[in-house]
Structure 1
Amino acid sequence: MRAEILPALAEAFRQHGYEGASLSRITQATGLGKGSLYRLFPGGKDEMAACVLDAIDGWFESEIFAPLRQGEPPGEAVSAMFEAVERYFRSGQRVCLIGVLALGAGRDRFGAAVRSYFARWIEALAASLRRAGHGESASTALAEEVVAQIQGAIVLARALDDPALFTRRLATLRSRIATA
């Protein structure tokens, strides 16, 4: 049952942030009463958010981080990363919950998970770039640039209500890596 409501919980946190996702908003999003929520998540909203973060982390680990670390040839692994990122963020129509938590007061509560997510993404992409022949520092710098621009593109696409901007930025980043 917990796993079934995690997507609804994630959307409540995406839409309202950790602070704004009140229990009444969470009950509305999940369709469950307060009692049911507390039976499933005795630790309350903190436990709900932690479970959502774990689910997101699991998806990114299996769909993006591990394939980048292990995928051969590296160019195909990087290309698959861009495809997975575009699907996950619904071509710029879905905000990054990890980014939402990184910017809000939830950052203090979930800082370790947020740092780990971004650090592992950069490390995995840099590893793939190194296997493709890029130097150590160049790989890390390019990986940081790509992850930062993906996150920025999500924010900008949402702010301008222009999801196509996200897709355009991903295409530009693909070209940037191909020509680096």
Structure 2
Amino acid sequence: MPKETYVPSLFSLFRQYGYDGATLSKISEATGLGKASLYHHFPGGKDEMVQSVLGYAGEWVQTNVLALLAGDGSPEVRLQKMCDRIDELYAGGTQPCVLAILQSGTGRDLFHDSVKASVEQWIAAIAVVVVEAGIDPMVARQRAEDALIAIQGSLVVSQALDDPALFQRVMQALPQQLLAQSSI
């Protein structure tokens, strides 16, 4: 099978354990591949696996977030579609963010630039939609940054308190907050 077959399993594994916690035995168990087969598919080892996971996540964001934000419909409709897809990705606030997990431990040094580029792209896309709604570009940029802070922060707090309703509340309110004519 091609290596792309194993990337969704790797995504789940690195999302749960991060770079440092994803041991070779866990990777083998998640993919069903032995050590030799893992290195056949991913000659660069765990770093290549994470790069594949980041590529997979990037494609998902491109299709399910950025394309929706750049698509048809009112700014509120496009932002709501983004929130709906993000809610699905994080299973209503019960699953962690692979980008956030990779920003801790050894993973930060190895993958920071890739994660930073993804976050910057997402912020920029949200800001464009907010500007289209008539909000000043500087304010739109700040609101887009605040949106990611709200998404990621509510995800962490929801998981810490075992209460996904906190994340869901943020996702429901976010489009209106981003487009409010007064400051947030």
TM range (shorter): over 0.9
Displacement of 1:70 in angstroms is: 4.2
Could you tell me which residue of structure 1 aligns to residue 88 of structure 2?
A: 87
Q: Which amino acid aligns with 2:6?
A: I
Q: Which amino acid aligns with 2:171?
A: L
| Percentage identity across paired residues of the two chains | 37
> Is the Cα–Cα contact under 8 Å of residues 69 and 129 in structure 2 kept in the other structure?
yes
Moved more, 62-71 or 152-161: 62-71
Is the contact between residue 102 and residue 111 of structure 2 (CA under 8 Å) also seen in structure 1?
yes
Shift of 1:97: 0.2
CA RMSD of aligned residues (A): 1.3
Where structure 1 has 5 or more consecutive residues not aligned to the other structure, the ranges are none
Map Cα deviations across residues 21-64 of structure 1 (whole Å, 9 max, x no partner): 11111111111111111110000000000000000001101111
Q: How many positions carry a matched residue from both structures?
A: 180
Matched, 1:155 2:156: yes
Alignment partners' CA distance in 2, 1:88 and 1:95: 9
The answer to whether the Cα contact below 8 Å between 1:64 and 1:84 also exists between their aligned partners in 2 is yes
Which residue number in structure 2 is paired with residue 54 of structure 1? 55
Q: 2: CA distance between counterparts of 1:172 and 1:80?
A: 13
Q: Map 1:92-107 onto structure 2 (within 5 A).
A: 92-107=93-108
Look up the equivalent residue of 1:146 and give its one-letter code.
A
SS of the residue corresponding to residue 134 of structure 2 reads coil
Q: Deviation at 1:178?
A: 4.3
Contact 1:66 1:124 in 2 (8 A): no
Distance 1:61 1:80 in 2: 13
Shift, 1:167, TM fit: 0.5
1:78 corresponds to: 79
- Report the CA distance shift for 1:30/1:84 in structure 2 as closer, same or farther (over 3 A): same
Aligned equivalent of 1:119: 120
Which residue of structure 1 aligns with residue 180 of structure 2?
Answer: 179
Number of the residue aligned with 1:16: 17
41-50 vs 154-163, which moves further: 154-163
Distance in 2 of aligned mates of 1:3 and 1:92:
26
> Match of 1:45, SS?
helix
Alpha-carbon shift at residue 110 of structure 1 (Å): 0.7
4+ runs deviating over 6 angstroms: none
Q: Which residue of 2 aligns with 1:36?
A: 37
Q: How many Å apart are 1:16 and its aligned residue?
A: 1.2
Show the counterpart of 1:129. 130
**Aligned partners of 1:69 and 1:125 also within 8 Å:** no
Secondary structure of the equivalent of 1:102? coil
Work out whether residues 69 and 124 of structure 1, in 8 Å CA contact, stay in contact via their aligned partners in 2: yes
Larger % of helix: which?
Answer: 1
* Paired position in structure 2 for 1:146: 147
Contact kept, 8 Å, 2:76 with 2:175, in 1: the verdict is no
User: 2: distance between equivalents of 1:103 and 1:144?
Assistant: 20
SS of structure 2 residue aligned to 1:29: helix
Look up the equivalent residue of 1:66 and give its one-letter code.
A
Gaps of 5+ in 2: none
CA distance in structure 2 between the partners assigned to 1:49 and 1:151 by the alignment: 20
